[in-house]
Amino acid sequence: MLAVVVLLAFFTGIDGLRGGSEDEEINRLEESIRRVAAACYAAEGIYPPSVEYMQEHYGLLVDEDKYFVDYTVFASNLMPDFTVLKRTAD
């Protein structure tokens, strides 16, 4: 019985670590988008019109198989609103 409890605790801990690293990856991607958008604004005087623009002109890397970026531009002089979501397996 004790062995089952120890194994359950081990696997729960491993799953928790995996979830934490996924959250860290999302946070890093969000921070990268924020920095690239700010760099674009500093260089061009406008925020980037799309994620694709940041990828083409500023080298932003997005694993599109793993993450979806919802990126909405309100005006060229306002920081776009964006959300990074983890894609689920179909």
In this prediction, residues 26-50 reach a mean pLDDT of 96
Q: Name the pTM for this structure.
A: 0.74
For residue 74, the enclosing domain spans 2-86
Q: Tell me how far apart the alpha carbons of residues 58 and 43 are, in angstroms, rounded to a whole number.
A: 11
Worst-scoring range by mean pLDDT, 5-9, 37-41, 44-48, 79-83? Answer: 5-9
Instruction: Return the closest-CA partner of residue 61 out of 22, 35, 90, 87.
Output: 35
> Which of 8-17, 18-27, 72-81 has the lowest average pLDDT?
8-17
Total of domains in the chain: 1
User: Quick one: pLDDT band at residue 1, thresholds 50, 70, 90?
Assistant: low
* Whole-angstrom distance, CA of residue 9 vs CA of residue 44: 52
Question: How many Cα atoms are found within 13 Å in the side-chain-facing hemisphere of 27?
Answer: 6
